[in-house]
């Protein structure tokens, strides 16, 4: 199969993730959409790695996974602390600061 199709899939996943970040209101779901974007990046890296015949892209995919895991740790800690103090994880409710 032509590897370019995987790039289209990666772009599609990235777009779905980005759209989700913009339209969803629950901080957890927004965060999951960000993770989807990171995984779309991984797919693109691996596909390009295959096209170019070098391993850089596959190595970077591992780094991305580690970064995503670290981001989950930090992100969930912040979102959970917000949820515990407000009993809501909606990003619309968190609006104490205005222009």
Contacts with another protein by CB under 8 A lie at: 7, 10, 14, 17-18, 21, 27, 30-31, 34, 37-38, 40-41, 44-45, 47-48, 51-54, 56-57, 59-60, 63-64, 67, 70-71, 74-75, 77-79, 81-82, 84-86, 91, 94-97, 99
Cα separation of 85 and 59, whole Å?
Answer: 40
- The whole-angstrom separation of Cα 30 and Cα 13 is 14
Could you tell me the smallest distance in angstroms from the CB atom of residue 49 to another protein? 8
Nearer Cβ to another protein, position 1 or 85? 85
Report in angstroms the alpha-carbon separations of 31 from 1, 34, 41, 72, 90. 32, 5, 15, 8, 12
Count the residues in the chain: 99
Residue number with CB closer to another protein (1 or 84): 84
């Amino acid at each position: 199969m032509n590897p370019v199709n995987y790039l289209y899939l990666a772009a599609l996943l990235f777009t779905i993730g980005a759209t989700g970040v913009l339209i969803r209101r629950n901080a957890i779901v927004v965060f999951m959409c960000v993770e989807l974007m990171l995984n779309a990046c991984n797919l693109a890296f691996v596909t390009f790695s295959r096209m170019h015949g070098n391993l850089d892209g596959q190595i970077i995919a591992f780094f991305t996974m580690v970064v995503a895991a670290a981001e989950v740790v930090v992100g969930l800690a912040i979102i959970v602390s917000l949820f515990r103090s407000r009993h809501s994880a909606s990003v619309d409710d968190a609006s104490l600061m205005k222009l």
